[in-house]
Amino acid sequence: MRRTVSAFIVLIVFIGLVLSGCTSPAKEEELPITIGVLTMGESRNAKFEGLRQGLSELGLVEPQINFSLFNAYDNEEELEAGAQGLIRQKPDVLVAAGVIEAEALARNLKGKPVISVVMIGVTFPSSLQAVFSEQGIPTTGVDNGHIELTGKRMELLRLIFPNRDRFLLVYDPRIKASTLALQQAQEVAKSNHYNIEPIPIAGDYDLTKLTKRSFSSKEAMLILPSYYLESRFREIRNLSLAGRIPVMGLYDTEAEAGYTASYGISYFDQGSQAARLVVRMVKEKRSILFEMPDSVYLKLNLKAVEQIGESVSPVGLSFANKIYTVKE
């Protein structure tokens, strides 16, 4: 009897040891995923909120996931310091909230241990991927589609405001994505016989000159991709309202702030779409093709339209999601 009991105890201990050995890998898998997020300024916050919501919908919430967010508040020196700080933390994946953030990470990852990078809402991503690829860094992200959407933005601007037949193409000559979008716009204008005028804006001096310009009743303005132009949306909104000229922007937040229209994917949706790529990157640790926007929307601010004294075509009105307020 004693031998039977002893044998039984030994068996229980053995099973316990086996089970404890089987469960230890599972415990390792339960360690939280760490994500370092680099953002240039407040305007990018919606990307982070979208990312967090997208990960939550995929079942990843605290304590399964930990974020380290650095906001540079539009200070380029702070952006460099933030990139360095996030890299030192050695997260599972780094997230860049745009082109300028991705470039900062690329500069500061040189000679450092490899950390995968996901980019949220960038234009012309192949050039960025090439920079990271030279360092052996896996990358992926969401292309905001700004270059490809340029022609459609022009067509919609013409559709909404049929009385406006001359387009002012506001671009940043320092930014490759902006000049590529300009080339796209010029090709569309040529094939559709649009009358256009490219306007280079390389800084505050050029923008101030534009605010002093007199606009005709036949003109409309199209903003091409550039972080500088995006960050100056209030000045552009003000000159639009004062000059009584319609302006087509890239983001819904610009339309909400008083642009007459916008067409593209929102910051929030960019972040939400990037969530699944973050999960894939953590698991696969290899470069993945960039995704084009899942959804784009035309926003029309009827309050801004009223303030510039313009009318909207019935067809254009039927296409758009309407906004009725101008936010600061």
Tens-place pLDDT, residues 159-177: 999 999 999 999 999 999 9
Average pLDDT over residues 239-247: 97
Cα angle vertex 45, ends 229, 41, to 5°?
50
Query: Would you place residue 43 in the very low, low, confident or very high pLDDT band (cuts 50, 70, 90)?
Result: confident
Same domain, 222 and 249: yes
Query: Would you place residue 62 in the very low, low, confident or very high pLDDT band (cuts 50, 70, 90)?
Result: confident
Same domain, 300 and 194: yes
Residue 104: pLDDT over 70:
yes
Same domain, 115 and 157: no
Average pLDDT over residues 259-283: 97
What digits encode the pLDDT tens for the residues 204-224?
A: 999 999 999 999 999 999 999
Query: Would you place residue 30 in the very low, low, confident or very high pLDDT band (cuts 50, 70, 90)?
Result: low
CATH of the domain at 189: 3.40.50.2300
pTM comes to 0.85
Report if residue 217 sits inside a domain: yes
Same domain, 124 and 59: yes
Same domain, 276 and 233: no
Same domain, 96 and 151: no
Same domain, 177 and 243: yes
Report if residue 316 sits inside a domain: yes
Report if residue 117 sits inside a domain: yes
Average pLDDT over residues 252-258: 95
Domain count, the chain: 2
Report if residue 18 sits inside a domain: no
Same domain, 113 and 166: no
Same domain, 188 and 60: no
Average pLDDT over residues 84-94: 98
Residue 49's domain comprises 32-144+267-284
Same domain, 208 and 318: yes
Report if residue 214 sits inside a domain: yes
What digits encode the pLDDT tens for the residues 121-155?
A: 999 899 899 999 999 999 999 999 999 999 999 99
Average pLDDT over residues 278-301: 96
Please give the mean pLDDT across all residues of the chain: 90
Report if residue 23 sits inside a domain: no
Same domain, 256 and 215: yes
Report if residue 3 sits inside a domain: no
Average pLDDT over residues 59-73: 94
What digits encode the pLDDT tens for the residues 31-40?
A: 799 999 999 9
Report if residue 2 sits inside a domain: no
Residue 17: pLDDT over 60:
no
Average pLDDT over residues 96-110: 96
Same domain, 232 and 300: yes
> Can you give the pLDDT at residue 172?
98
Residue 3: pLDDT over 60:
no
